[in-house]
């Protein structure tokens, strides 16, 4: 038996949870933990959870149920719940599932080392504070070991928008932006570890307004331009953005900042003005379409992605058709669509739901249209030369897998020495969820 304690983290939900899981593992590294790939070999299991829809939240309890035999067999095993379900349900988790030792919210996980020490004494630990000190100031130095070429970096967290269907303002708290100098340092350190692409994360990333080195408030475009200056950082992306925060300089950056990749995730949720209003989205369908036109004017090959909710309370057939029309007008290269899920504590959950069968039918129709658009966008890449950042060895002999500028997964026969480089690739074929191509001489 080695002395190193073993940590297994399972991550649900959005990219911010992926980033948080990495930071939690790093912070527990100081308590002697190394990360392992399966629950069976772990001394501490952390579930980093998502509360966005009922199904996502319920998954946590079924996973905990599956872990009960593990805990019965090894009473020393510790189990923790982190993330948005931890924030939303707090002590209720400890009541409902006694195998849980620790519950930590997304804003207090810098306190994990103390919490871990506490549970080793046989007590439980619960922390769902929104502390005044931000976790980013408290978390220790990040490791320096080499890492994969693409990384997430949280620049903004929380949301003040209060869409009537959404739990995020309650689970993540109000908007906080990290200062520019901290982000530049973190990005430089990531690049020194082999990172070539950084995706800037925020629940409303384009509402970013961090303190700049000049003491003024910087917007996302300013931050992107400063990050783009870092030697060795080839690509920048950001997600998720809100249509009402697409300011002029950010739109301009899509046209004149070559490091900013031609991909934009810009959720609209619905194409009906009445539904948008009931959702508290604060813009119209027309306003969204005008915005897309302005961004495409500076970056015509931009690949657009979006999020949609069908079956919002009160949504009529005609209102759903307005969503279908908007999708036809925009033409998405990629999209996520969901059946409305009532969330406890949100205003929309008080309203009369659309019958389940109606919502299901709408979801199928919307998804069929979105898939058609996705495949058309993929097919349009055939014959084109694209930049691909190779990330890892593929499943087939001799193949590498990477991401194109437009965020398509691309595989090609290539020398493993090309991992971590952006390489020109000619796209030859399109499959369901990926493209394949031929590496061109750089």
Question: Which parts of 170-209 interact with ligand SF4 (CB under 6 A)?
Answer: 203-204
Task: Give the whole-angstrom CA distance, residue 269 versus residue 235.
Answer: 28
**Crossing angle of helices 248-256 and 285-298, rounded to 10°:** 30
Neighbours of 233 (CB within 10 A): 18
Task: Give the whole-angstrom CA distance, residue 1 versus residue 5.
Answer: 10
Task: Select from 149, 169, 387, 394 the one that contacts ligand SF4 (CB under 6 A).
Answer: 169
Which C-beta is closer to ligand F3S: that of 16 or that of 190? 16
Considering only the stretches 12-20, 89-97, 104-112, 155-163, report the one whose residues sit in contact with ligand SF4 under the rule CB under 6 A: 155-163
Residue 168 within binding range of ligand SF4, rule CB under 6 A = yes
Considering only the stretches 50-58, 205-213, 310-318, 339-347, report the one whose residues sit in contact with ligand F3S under the rule CB under 6 A: 50-58
Q: How many residues does the chain have?
A: 442
Considering only the stretches 87-95, 156-164, 358-366, 372-380, report the one whose residues sit in contact with ligand SF4 under the rule CB under 6 A: 156-164
Give the distance from CA 116 to its chain's centroid: 26
Residue 335 within binding range of ligand SF4, rule CB under 6 A = no
Q: How far lies 401's CA from each of 79, 180, 414, in Å?
A: 34, 32, 9
From the list ligand F3S, ligand SAH, ligand SF4, none, partner contacted by residue 150 (C-beta under 5 to 8 A by kind): none
CB 298 within 8 Å of CB 441: no
Q: Which residues here bind ligand SAH, judged by CB under 6 A?
A: 52-53, 165-166, 168, 203-204, 240, 242, 267, 269, 307, 309, 338, 340-341, 343
From the list ligand SAH, ligand F3S, ligand SF4, none, partner contacted by residue 338 (C-beta under 5 to 8 A by kind): ligand SAH
CA-based angle 310:85:60, to the nearest 5?
A: 85
Residue 52 within binding range of ligand F3S, rule CB under 6 A = yes
Residue 171 within binding range of ligand F3S, rule CB under 6 A = yes
Q: How many CA atoms lie within 13 A of 117 on its CB side?
A: 6
From the list ligand SAH, ligand F3S, ligand SF4, none, partner contacted by residue 169 (C-beta under 5 to 8 A by kind): ligand SF4
Residue 14 within binding range of ligand SF4, rule CB under 6 A = no
CB 139 within 8 Å of CB 382: no
Instruction: Specify the pairing of strand 33-35 against strand 385-393.
Output: unpaired
Considering only the stretches 14-22, 28-36, 239-247, 267-275, report the one whose residues sit in contact with ligand F3S under the rule CB under 6 A: 14-22
Provide, rounded to whole angstroms, the least separation between the CB of residue 71 and ligand F3S. 24
Residue 313 within binding range of ligand SF4, rule CB under 6 A = no
Q: Would you call 427 exposed, middle or buried from its count of C-beta atoms within 10 A (0-12, 13-18, 19+)?
A: buried
Neighbours of 173 (CB within 10 A): 19
Task: Give the whole-angstrom CA distance, residue 407 versus residue 434.
Answer: 10
Which C-beta is closer to ligand SF4: that of 196 or that of 242? 242
Q: How far lies 26's CA from each of 8, 37, 111, 299, in Å?
A: 12, 15, 12, 38
Provide, rounded to whole angstroms, the least separation between the CB of residue 238 and ligand SAH. 12
Beta bridge partners of 424: 387
Which C-beta is closer to ligand SF4: that of 204 or that of 430? 204
Which C-beta is closer to ligand SAH: that of 239 or that of 404? 239
Q: What tokens appear for 29 in the block?
A: 């590294």
Residue 51 within binding range of ligand F3S, rule CB under 6 A = yes
Q: What tokens appear for 368 in the block?
A: 């069929």
Interface residues with ligand F3S (CB under 6 A) are 13-14, 16-17, 50-52, 83-84, 167-168, 171-172, 203
Return residues touching ligand SF4 (CB under 6 A).
Answer: 159, 161-163, 166, 168-169, 203-204, 242
């Amino acid at each position: 038996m080695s002395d190193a304690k073993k940590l297994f983290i399972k991550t649900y939900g959005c990219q911010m949870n992926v980033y948080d899981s990495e930071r939690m593992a790093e912070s527990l590294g100081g308590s002697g933990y190394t990360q392992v790939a399966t629950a069976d070999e772990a001394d501490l299991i952390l579930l980093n959870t998502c509360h966005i829809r009922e199904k996502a939240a319920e998954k946590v309890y079924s996973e905990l149920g599956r872990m009960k035999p593990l805990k019965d067999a090894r009473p020393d095993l510790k189990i923790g719940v982190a993330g948005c379900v931890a924030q939303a349900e707090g002590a209720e988790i400890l009541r409902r599932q006694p195998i849980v030792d620790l519950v930590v919210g997304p804003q207090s996980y810098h306190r994990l080392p103390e919490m871990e020490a506490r549970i080793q004494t046989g007590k439980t630990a619960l922390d769902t504070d929104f502390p005044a000190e931000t976790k980013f100031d408290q978390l220790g130095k990040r490791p320096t070991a080499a890492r994969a070429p693409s990384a997430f970096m949280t620049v903004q967290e929380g949301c003040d928008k209060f869409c009537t269907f959404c739990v995020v303002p309650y689970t993540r708290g109000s908007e906080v932006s990290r200062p520019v100098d901290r982000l530049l340092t973190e990005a430089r350190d990531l690049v020194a570890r082999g990172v070539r692409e950084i995706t800037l994360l925020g629940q409303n990333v384009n509402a970013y307004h961090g303190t700049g080195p000049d003491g003024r408030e910087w917007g996302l475009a300013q931050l992107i331009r400063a990050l783009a200056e870092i030697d060795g950082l080839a690509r920048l992306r950001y997600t998720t953005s809100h249509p009402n925060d697409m300011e002029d300089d950010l739109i301009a950056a899509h046209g004149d900042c070559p490091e900013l990749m031609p991909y934009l995730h810009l959720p609209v949720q619905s194409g009906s003005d009445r539904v948008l209003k009931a959702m508290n989205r604060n813009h119209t369908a027309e306003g969204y379409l005008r915005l897309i036109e302005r961004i495409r004017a500076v970056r015509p090959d931009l690949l657009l992605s979006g999020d949609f909710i069908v079956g919002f309370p009160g949504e009529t057939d005609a209102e759903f058709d307005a969503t279908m029309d908007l999708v036809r007008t925009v033409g998405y290269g990629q999209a996520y669509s969901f059946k409305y899920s009532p969330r406890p504590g949100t205003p929309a959950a008080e309203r009369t739901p659309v019958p389940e069968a109606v919502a299901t039918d709408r979801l199928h129709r919307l998804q069929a249209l979105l898939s058609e658009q996705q495949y058309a966008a993929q097919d349009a890449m055939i014959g084109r030369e694209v930049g691909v950042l190779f990330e890892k060895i593929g499943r087939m002999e001799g193949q590498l897998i990477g991401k194109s500028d437009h965020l398509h997964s691309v595989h090609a026969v290539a020398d493993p020495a090309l991992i971590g480089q952006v390489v020109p690739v000619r796209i030859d074929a399109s499959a369901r969820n990926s493209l394949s191509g031929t590496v061109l001489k750089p």
